[in-house]
């Protein structure tokens, strides 16, 4: 939000542009004020006006690229950044931003090409290595991502995210113990971050180091009693530890914290289903359907539970709704047909209970 001095300056700059439309400095000053105050629409208008006077103005092209990127208009951002490179300007930030924009639209090769150009300018820029790591991670090239994340961490050991990025890749590769240690390092650098301890707890849990995992889960919940995901993750871990009662307690606490989120209900339904308590499972799956009526998997789970209770009529109803929502899912269609056939067979055999 502009203060009175900035407002006056803005008005003066607008007047100067009207009086002297060929003076680029006035556009740049005005655009900068709008940009710094996040008034991106006004800033874009100013920079576009400048380009009508100076089509190759480096600052205008660069800032327009940034505005488009912020607005998730990635193709437009690519257009502006590319116009800068066509001027023959080799700038690390431009290549880096171009790489980011290409990555956002899934153009792996173009993104990589620009990241490499950025590294040719500065081989010690950890952000570029991190970006390449993320690019490989998004494409499930985890071993390649590991190499670049390791390089980023080697360059900057004071950046918590460098530890976290590397830790997440290690969890993908099944190296959860090492990942947990890296999360611990990130926690030391950013002790007030509430998610790092949760990630660390998950890694320890996946490594079956439940003592450390549970200590961290309890600590996270104690410090952040409204953190929904902490209860969900702790509940999953407790179920793996066969602590069914406390797992149920955590899922219920998650529901109390965020009653409109489906994961708590879904996980409780799955838990009761695994424990062969299908009536209880059905009640929680029904809540999922109530919250997300277009979630086909919830109807499938309801159908499965009704099958286990030998209530084929209800199962058919649930599977029909799943098929209506996810009409391209051949697996659901096949099960739906099989249940109908079973229902007809039972009816023809006079099994009134199963065909009721």
User: Is the model's pLDDT at 116 over the cut of 80?
Assistant: yes
Return the C-alpha torsion angle 302, 305, 310, 315, nearest 10: 20
Look-up of token digits 């950044």:
81
Q: What is the structure's pLDDT at 53?
A: 93
Look-up of token digits 């257009």:
79
Alpha carbons 69 and 356: distance in angstroms, whole number: 59
This prediction's pTM: 0.84
As a whole-number percent, the residues of the chain with pLDDT over 70 amount to 97
Residue-wise pLDDT for 175-226, tens only, equals 999 999 999 999 999 999 989 999 999 999 999 999 999 999 999 999 999 9
Mean pLDDT, residues 321-336 taken together = 90
The pLDDT confidence band at residue 156, using thresholds 50, 70 and 90, is very high
Q: In this predicted model, which residue has the larger pLDDT, 352 or 231?
A: 231
Q: What is the structure's pLDDT at 351?
A: 60
Q: What is the structure's pLDDT at 89?
A: 86
**HEC assignment per residue over the chain:** CCCHHHHHHHHHHHHHHHHCCCCHHHHHHHHHHHHHCCCHHHHHHHHHHHHHHCCCCHHHHHHHHHHHHHCCCHHHHHHHHHHHHCCCCCCHHHHHHHHHHHHHCCCHHHHHHHHHHHHHHCCCCHHHHHHHHHHHHHCCCHHHHHHHHHHHHHHCCCCHHHHHHHHHHHHHCCCHHHHHHHHHHHHHHCCCCCHHHHHHHHHHHHCCCHHHHHHHHHHHHHHCCCCHHHHHHHHHHHHHCCCHHHHHHHHHHHHHHCCCCCHHHHHHHHHHHHCCCHHHHHHHHHHHHHHCCCCHHHHHHHHHHHHHCCCHHHHHHHHHHHHHHCCCCHHHHHHHHHHHHHHHHHHHCCCCCCCC
Mean pLDDT, residues 222-247 taken together = 97
Residue-wise pLDDT for 217-232, tens only, equals 999 999 999 999 999 9
Residue-wise pLDDT for 332-347, tens only, equals 899 889 889 988 888 7
User: Is the model's pLDDT at 158 over the cut of 90?
Assistant: yes
User: Is the model's pLDDT at 3 over the cut of 80?
Assistant: no
User: Is the model's pLDDT at 352 over the cut of 90?
Assistant: no
Mean pLDDT, residues 133-161 taken together = 97
As a whole-number percent, the residues of the chain with pLDDT over 90 amount to 88
């Amino acid at each position: 939000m502009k203060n009175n001095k900035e407002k006056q300056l803005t008005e003066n700059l607008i007047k100067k542009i009207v009086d002297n439309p060929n003076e680029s400095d006035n556009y740049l000053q005005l655009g900068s004020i709008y940009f710094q105050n996040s008034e991106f629409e006004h800033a874009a208008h100013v920079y576009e006006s400048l380009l009508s006077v100076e089509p190759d103005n480096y600052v205008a092209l660069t800032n327009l690229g940034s505005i488009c990127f912020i607005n998730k208009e990635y193709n437009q951002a690519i257009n502006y950044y590319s116009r800068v490179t066509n001027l023959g300007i080799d700038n690390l930030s431009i290549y880096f931003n171009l790489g980011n924009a290409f990555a956002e639209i899934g153009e792996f090769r173009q993104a990589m090409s620009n990241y490499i150009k950025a590294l040719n300018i500065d081989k010690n820029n950890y952000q570029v290595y991190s970006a390449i790591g993320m690019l490989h991670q998004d494409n499930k090239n985890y071993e390649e991502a590991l190499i670049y994340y390791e390089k980023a961490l080697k360059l900057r050991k004071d950046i918590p995210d460098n530890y976290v990025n590397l830790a997440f890749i290690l969890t993908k590769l099944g190296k959860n113990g090492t990942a947990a240690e890296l999360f611990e390092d990130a926690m030391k650098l950013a002790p007030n971050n509430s998610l790092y301890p949760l990630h660390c707890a998950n890694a320890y849990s996946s490594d079956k180091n439940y003592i450390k995992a549970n200590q961290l889960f309890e600590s996270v919940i104690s410090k952040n009693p409204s953190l929904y995901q902490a209860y969900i993750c702790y509940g999953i871990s407790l179920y793996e530890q066969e602590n069914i009662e406390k797992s149920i307690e955590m899922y219920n606490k998650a529901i109390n914290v965020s009653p409109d989120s489906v994961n708590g209900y879904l996980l409780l339904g799955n838990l009761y289903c695994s424990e062969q308590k299908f009536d209880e499972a059905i009640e929680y799956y029904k809540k999922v359907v109530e919250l997300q009526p277009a979630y086909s998997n919830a109807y499938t789970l309801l159908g499965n539970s009704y099958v286990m209770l030998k209530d084929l009529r209800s199962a058919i109803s649930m599977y029909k709704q799943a098929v209506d929502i996810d009409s391209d899912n051949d697996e659901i269609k096949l099960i739906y047909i099989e249940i109908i056939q079973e229902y007809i067979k039972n009816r023809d055999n006079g099994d009134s209970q199963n065909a009721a």
